[in-house]
A and B are shown apart, each in its own frame.
Chain A
Amino acid sequence: MSSDRKEVKRDRPWLMRTYSGHSSAKASNELYRTNLSKGQTGLSVAFDLPTQTGYDADHPLAHGEVGKVGVPIGHIGDMEALFDQIPLDKMNTSMTINATAAWLLSLYIAVAERQGVAPSQLQGTTQNDIIKEYLSRGTYIFPPEPSVRLTTDIISYTVNHIPKWNPTNICSYHLQEAGATPTQELAYALSTAISVLDAIRDAGQIDGDAFANVVGRTSFFVNAGIRFVEECCKMRAFVGMWDRIAKERYGVQDPKLRRFRYGIQVNSLGLTESQPENNVQRIVLEMLAVTLSKNARARAIQLPAWNEALGLPRPWDQQWALRMQQVLAIETDLLEYGDILDGSPIIDAKVRELVQGAEEEMRRVKEEGGMVQAVETGYVKRQLVTSHTDRMRAIEAGDLKIIGVNCFTETTESPLTSGTDSGIMKVDATAEREQIERLQAFRAERNSKEAKSAIAQLGDAARSGINIMDASIRCAQVGVTTGEWSNELRGVFGEYRAPTGIDISTHGMGQSETVATLRERTLKTGEELGRPLKILVGKPGLDGHSNGAEQIAVKARDVGFEVVYEGIRLTPEQIVKAAEEEGVHLIGLSVLSGSHLELVEDALARLAEIGLSEVPVIVGGIVPTEDEKDLKAHGVAAVYTPKDSDMNRIMSDLVNIIRESNGLERFEDAA
C-alpha cells in the first residue's frame, strides 16, 4: 500500500436504493426489510401495471398483469402491509408512479397517519412526470392538460404540507431508453421542467416567495449510458443549464435552491441478454458517469440487476447491485476529493458542445409551443423514434459495437444462468388470484357509504379545479380502491392515446444489400399472394414500453411491409378484431411485462373462434426460454427476445413465416 492512511474527511454517500416490488404487498415488504438490513439506505417502490394505470386487480385489462412488474396496491390495506414495520418518519421512499401519483401519495400519507407520523415528517419522491409517459413509458391515463394539473396539484400540496418531499422527478431516464441522444435528453428534460414550473406559476396556488421553494424541490431522474465520459459531461451540462434557468427564468436567488438534484438508474437499454454477465461491467462504468464529478453527483442511485434483460431479478441479484454501490462509496477513495474534473479543458469543451446542442433543441420545442404541445403534435416522439432507429441501424451495420451481441459472440456456457431457476425469479402464479380475493374481501368489509361519498367529493374537486389532494387523502382513509379513484377521474378528464411517432420519414432507411434483398422478397411474396404483405403490430396488456414494437413496425415498413401499428394497452379482443378488419398476413404481439402466456393464449383462442387460425402470430418481449417453448406449443410461429438484435434476420423470418403459412417455399435466410 503506497497511500498514506491518514484520516480524511469523506463526503456523505448518496442514497442507495434498489427498484423493487413484486407479487403482493406482504412479499414486497419482506424484500424491502431484507434489502434495508443489507445496507440499502432508501426504498424505491416498483408498482405493478394495474396500479400504475389505475385498474383494480379484478378488472379485465389487469388480467395477467397483477404483481408482475411490481407490487399491486389496491387500497390502504395493501399500502399498510407494504410498509409494515418500516417507520415512515425514518424512511426515504421513492415511488415510481405517475398517472396515479396523487393517489399513491395519498395512500402513503394515510398510512403514515396510522403509524402516527405527520405529513411534515415524510421524506421521499413521487416520480410524477407524466410527459415522458406519453413519450416512452406509456402508463398515462388522462390527456396532457388534466395530467399536468394533477402534477401541479401534488407539487402545490407538498410544498405547503410535506416540505421534505420531492413532488416531481422530471425524467430524462426514459427518454434515453426511448432512444434520446444526450443532447435530446438535456433538452426534453429541461423543457419538461419548464412546462411544469410555468404551469404552477400560472395556476396561482403558490405565492411569490414560496415559488423559489418549488423550483428548489424540483428534482430529476436521469439515465447514464455506457459512453460514460460523455454522460458525465451531460450531468455537468444539466447542472449549469438548470442553475441558469432557475436564476434567469424563475428569479431564484438562493444558489442552494438552484441545484440540479437528481436520482439515477443506469441504462437498461444497453443491457444485453446474450452474455448477461457483461452487464455487471456496464452497470459499474455507467455508475461512474454520475459519481465522478462531485459538483454533478447523483443524490440517489439505483442500479439494475445484471439479469434484467432475462426476467425478474432474484434477491441475490439485487444484493449484487447494491454491493456495487457500496464498494464504490465505501472502499474507493472517490468521496475524499473535490470535483476531479474541474478545470479539464476537454471536459469543458464537451460540456459546451452539449449545452449548445440542447439549447438549440429547446428552441425548437419552444417553437412547437412548449413541451406539452410538442408532445401532442408528435414532434418529440418522432425525434426519439428517429434517434432510436438510427441506433438500431448502427448496431445492425456493426458501426456500434456491443460485446457479445454483434462482436465477440463466442461464449462458454454460463454457470450463472444454468441453475434450476434459469437465473431469474418467477412470480408466484397464485399472486393474481390471491390479490383479487384480498381486494374483494376488503371491498365487502369497508363502509361503502363513506367510500361512495368520498368518491363523489373527488369528482367534485376534479371538476371544480380545487387541489385534488384533500379529497384524494379522504378517499385513501375510507378505503376507496385504486380502480375507483382512477375511474372517477377518467369520467371527469377523459382518457388519452398518445402519438406513436412511427410516421418518421424514410430518410436514412437501410440501404444495405440485405435490405434490398428483403424488399425484393416482400414484394415477390406479395405478388405471389395477390396483394402486398400486410402485418399488424400491437401490444396487448397494460405494459406501455412500446420502443420494441415501434422499431419492428418501422423496420417492417422499411423492407416493404404495409404495417398496421395498433399501439399500446389493447385487449387481445381488440387486436383480433383489428386483424380481421385489416386482413393482415401476420400478427406481431409485443409484451414486456411478463404476462405473455396469458395474453398470447387469449389472442390465439379468439383468432380460432373467428376462423383466423391460419394467420401466423409472432411474439416479442422478455420471454424466458421455458415460456418460449410453451408459446410455440400453443401455435406461436416465432418468439423474439432482446438477444435477437438482428432486425434483418427477424424481417427475413417474417417473410418466410408468411410464405410457409400460405403454402409457399421458404427463402434462404437473408441475414
Chain B
Amino acid sequence: MLALRTPPDPESLAASVSDQDRSAVAKALNLLDDKRPEARKLAARLLATLPKERLYGSGHLIGLTGPPGAGKSSLTAALVRVWRNRGLAVGILAVDPSSPISGGALLGDRLRMLSSDLDDKVFIRSLACRGEFGGLSAEVWPMSLVMLAAFDIVLVETVGVGQKEIDVSKLTDTTCFVAQPASGDSIQFLKAGIMEIPHVLVVNKADVGLAARKTLSELRGTLKPPAHAGDWQVPALAASATKGTGIEALADSIEAHRAWLTAQGMLPTIRKRFQAEWIVKRLLEEFGRFGIETLGGESRLLDSLVEIPGSPFEQYESLRNRFLTNRGQ
C-alpha cells in the first residue's frame, strides 16, 4: 500500500472546512474516502476537530429518495435554486448504484443539476454505493458530517425502491420521498407498512395532470392523522421540477419539519442516534450478528453509543478493538 503523498494536516483542514473553503471540503471528502490506515487516523482526527455544535446541533440534513425516473435530480436542482435564493449554502451527496459485476459506477447526476454549477455556495459530490449499506455508501455518514460543518443544508440523494428507501431515513433529519405519477409501487410499499413513512411526500411531474393528481390522492390516502397532539403530520405535496411549480412549498415543508425537530429538542439526539446506527451497521457487516452480541447486543450498543462522546471513526475503532481483544481471550 502506498503512503499518502502529501498528508493533510487534519486540524487546519477542519478549520478551512468550517470556513466553507471549497478546496478544503474536497480534500476532506477525499480523506474520508481513503481506506489506508494512515489516512484513517488522519480522518478520525479531522472528524474529531470539526465543531461539535455544527455536527450535532445545527444545519439541516435532508434525505431525498424515490424510484428511478421520479425526477429526483431535477427536483434537487429546483430545491437548490430556492435555497440559494434564501441565502443558504448547499452541499449535496448524490449516491448512484455500483455495478455488481465490475464494481464500477456511472455517476450522471451532476448533469441535471448543472444550472447551479457555477455557484460556489453549491458543492456536489457523487458517490457510488459500492454494494454495501443497502443502497447507501458507508462513506455517506462521515461525509455528511464534513458537509454539515461547511454548509447550511446537506442533501443526500439516493435511488431507492421499496425497503431500501428507508436506509437514508436512518441518516438524515428529514426524509423526503419523491413519487412518480402513475406508478403504484411506492404506494403499495407504504400501505403494506414495508416502507417506513417518510417525513415529506412529494409527487413530482405534477405537470402531467391527471395521473399526478391521482397518485397524490392515493398517497394522501396512506397517511394517517398523528396519534398524539404535537406529532409531526406528514404532508403530501405536488411539484413540477421542470415547470418550477410547488418547489417553494416543498422547501417550506422540509423546513417546517426541521423547525418541529428543534421545537421538540430532538435534533442532537437523532444525530447521535444516526451515528450509533452507522457504527452498529459497520460492525454488523464486519463481524456479523455474533460480533454484535459479543459487544452486548444491538439495542444496548445503540443506547451506549449515544452516551459516549467521540467521532464516528474513534467510536468504531474502539468497539472494533474491544471485539478483537475479547475474541482473542
Q: Is B33 close to A, CB under 8 A? A: yes
Instruction: Give min CB distance, B46 to chain A, whole Å.
Output: 14
CB of B33 within 8 A of CB of A531, answer yes
> Can you list 22 pairs linking A and B with CB atoms under 8 Å apart?
A377-B69, A503-B106, A506-B99, A509-B99, A509-B102, A519-B103, A530-B36, A531-B35, A532-B130, A556-B104, A557-B105, A558-B99, A559-B102, A562-B98, A563-B106, A564-B110, A577-B118, A582-B124, A583-B27, A583-B29, A610-B23, A664-B2
Q: Which residues of A contact B102 (CB under 8 A)?
A: 506, 509, 519, 557-560
Q: Which residues of B contact A554 (CB under 8 A)?
A: 106
Chain A 558-576 residues near chain B, CB threshold 8 A: 558-567, 570, 573-574
CB of B107 within 8 A of CB of A509, answer no
Cα-based distance from A377 to B112 in the complex (angstroms)? 13
Q: Which residues of A contact B99 (CB under 8 A)?
A: 506, 509, 557-558
Q: Is A522 close to B, CB under 8 A? A: yes
CB of A566 within 8 A of CB of B110, answer yes
Cα-based distance from A318 to B14 in the complex (angstroms)? 62
Question: In the complex where A377-B69, A509-B101, A553-B106 touch, is A581 in contact with B35 (Cβ < 8 A)?
Answer: no
Cα-based distance from A583 to B123 in the complex (angstroms)? 12
Q: Which residues of A contact B69 (CB under 8 A)?
A: 377-378
Q: Is B248 close to A, CB under 8 A? A: no
Chain A 566-619 residues near chain B, CB threshold 8 A: 566-567, 570, 573-574, 577-578, 580-583, 610-611
Q: Which residues of A contact B5 (CB under 8 A)?
A: 662-663
Chain B 60-97 residues near chain A, CB threshold 8 A: 69
**Interface range, B side:** 35 or more
CB of B118 within 8 A of CB of A573, answer yes
1/0 per position for B117-145, CB-CB distance to A under 8 A? 11000011110101000000000000000
Cα-based distance from A564 to B114 in the complex (angstroms)? 13
Cα-based distance from A390 to B124 in the complex (angstroms)? 32
Cα-based distance from A559 to B106 in the complex (angstroms)? 12
Cα-based distance from A278 to B104 in the complex (angstroms)? 37
Instruction: Give min CB distance, B13 to chain A, whole Å.
Output: 14
Cα-based distance from A461 to B208 in the complex (angstroms)? 25
Q: Is B229 close to A, CB under 8 A? A: no
1/0 per position for A361-397, CB-CB distance to B under 8 A? 0000000000000000110000000000000000000
| Candidates A377, A523, A529, A553; contact of B103 at CB < 8 Å | A523
Q: Is A528 close to B, CB under 8 A? A: yes
Q: Is A497 close to B, CB under 8 A? A: yes
Q: Is B108 close to A, CB under 8 A? A: yes
Question: In the complex where A564-B110, A573-B118, A610-B23 touch, is A581 in contact with B101 (Cβ < 8 A)?
Answer: no
Q: Which residues of B contact A610 (CB under 8 A)?
A: 23
Instruction: Give min CB distance, A193 to chain B, whole Å.
Output: 24
1/0 per position for B12-29, CB-CB distance to A under 8 A? 000000000011001101
Q: Is A500 close to B, CB under 8 A? A: yes
Residues of A within 8 A of B (CB): 143, 377-378, 497, 500, 502-503, 506, 509, 519, 522-523, 527-532, 553-554, 556-567, 570, 573-574, 577-578, 580-583, 610-611, 662-664
Cα-based distance from A662 to B100 in the complex (angstroms)? 27
Q: A503-B106, A564-B108 are in contact. List 20 more A-B contacts (CB 8 A).
A: A497-B112, A497-B114, A502-B106, A519-B103, A522-B103, A522-B104, A527-B1, A530-B39, A532-B130, A553-B106, A560-B104, A562-B105, A562-B128, A564-B126, A565-B111, A567-B114, A577-B117, A578-B110, A581-B123, A583-B125
Q: Which residues of A contact B36 (CB under 8 A)?
A: 530
CB of B111 within 8 A of CB of A581, answer no
CB of A531 within 8 A of CB of B106, answer no
Give the nearest-CB partner of B120 in chain A.
A577
Q: Which residues of A contact B22 (CB under 8 A)?
A: 580-581
CB of A532 within 8 A of CB of B103, answer yes
CB of B117 within 8 A of CB of A578, answer yes
Instruction: Give min CB distance, B242 to chain A, whole Å.
Output: 7
Q: Is B304 close to A, CB under 8 A? A: no
Cα-based distance from A580 to B110 in the complex (angstroms)? 13
**Closest 8 pairs (CB-CB, A-B):** A530-B34, A557-B104, A531-B33, A583-B30, A530-B36, A560-B104, A567-B111, A506-B99
Q: Which residues of B contact A664 (CB under 8 A)?
A: 2
Question: In the complex where A497-B114, A574-B114, A581-B124 touch, is A611 in contact with B106 (Cβ < 8 A)?
Answer: no
CB of A566 within 8 A of CB of B111, answer yes
Cα-based distance from A425 to B27 in the complex (angstroms)? 45
Q: Which residues of B contact A583 (CB under 8 A)?
A: 26-27, 29-30, 33, 125
Give the nearest-CB partner of B130 in chain A.
A532
Give the nearest-CB partner of A495 in chain B.
B115
Instruction: Give min CB distance, B97 to chain A, whole Å.
Output: 9
Cα-based distance from A58 to B159 in the complex (angstroms)? 41
| Candidates A377, A503, A582, A611; contact of B108 at CB < 8 Å | A503
| Candidates B30, B117, B125, B126; contact of A531 at CB < 8 Å | B30
Cα-based distance from A448 to B236 in the complex (angstroms)? 51
Cα-based distance from A378 to B106 in the complex (angstroms)? 15
Cα-based distance from A500 to B108 in the complex (angstroms)? 8
Cα-based distance from A506 to B99 in the complex (angstroms)? 7
CB of B105 within 8 A of CB of A529, answer no
Q: Which residues of A contact B101 (CB under 8 A)?
A: 506, 509
Give the nearest-CB partner of B25 in chain A.
A581
Cα-based distance from A519 to B102 in the complex (angstroms)? 7
CB of B125 within 8 A of CB of A527, answer no
Q: Which residues of A contact B126 (CB under 8 A)?
A: 564, 582
Q: Which residues of A contact B104 (CB under 8 A)?
A: 522, 556-563
Q: Which residues of A contact B117 (CB under 8 A)?
A: 574, 577-578
Q: Which residues of B contact A503 (CB under 8 A)?
A: 106, 108
Instruction: Give min CB distance, B272 to chain A, whole Å.
Output: 27
Q: Which residues of A contact B30 (CB under 8 A)?
A: 531, 583
Cα-based distance from A574 to B2 in the complex (angstroms)? 31
Question: In the complex where A559-B104, A565-B106 touch, is A663 in contact with B114 (Cβ < 8 A)?
Answer: no
Instruction: Give min CB distance, B114 to chain A, whole Å.
Output: 6
Q: Which residues of A contact B39 (CB under 8 A)?
A: 530
Q: Which residues of B contact A502 (CB under 8 A)?
A: 106, 108
CB of B105 within 8 A of CB of A581, answer no
CB of A497 within 8 A of CB of B34, answer no
Give the nearest-CB partner of A525 in chain B.
B2
Cα-based distance from A443 to B264 in the complex (angstroms)? 63
CB of A532 within 8 A of CB of B106, answer no
Cα-based distance from A314 to B143 in the complex (angstroms)? 54
Cα-based distance from A562 to B107 in the complex (angstroms)? 7
Q: Which residues of A contact B98 (CB under 8 A)?
A: 562
CB of B111 within 8 A of CB of A497, answer yes
CB of B23 within 8 A of CB of A532, answer no
Q: Which residues of B contact A577 (CB under 8 A)?
A: 117-118
Give the nearest-CB partner of B30 in chain A.
A583
CB of A611 within 8 A of CB of B1, answer no
Cα-based distance from A509 to B242 in the complex (angstroms)? 34
Q: Which residues of B contact A582 (CB under 8 A)?
A: 107, 110, 124-126
CB of A662 within 8 A of CB of B106, answer no
Question: In the complex where A497-B114, A519-B102, A531-B35 touch, is A565 in contact with B108 (Cβ < 8 A)?
Answer: yes
Q: Which residues of A contact B130 (CB under 8 A)?
A: 532
Q: Which residues of B contact A567 (CB under 8 A)?
A: 108, 111, 114
Question: In the complex where A527-B35, A530-B33 touch, is A560 in contact with B118 (Cβ < 8 A)?
Answer: no
Instruction: Give min CB distance, A538 to chain B, whole Å.
Output: 9
Instruction: Give min CB distance, B110 to chain A, whole Å.
Output: 6
Give the nearest-CB partner of B104 in chain A.
A557
Q: Which residues of A contact B242 (CB under 8 A)?
A: 143
Cα-based distance from A506 to B105 in the complex (angstroms)? 10
Instruction: Give min CB distance, A537 to chain B, whole Å.
Output: 10
Instruction: Give min CB distance, B196 to chain A, whole Å.
Output: 27
Cα-based distance from A522 to B99 in the complex (angstroms)? 14
Q: Which residues of A contact B110 (CB under 8 A)?
A: 564, 566, 578, 582
CB of B107 within 8 A of CB of A500, answer no
Give the nearest-CB partner of B4 in chain A.
A530
Greatest chain B CB density within 10 A among A528, A531, A556, A564 is at: A564
Cα-based distance from A522 to B4 in the complex (angstroms)? 18
Instruction: Give min CB distance, A268 to chain B, whole Å.
Output: 26
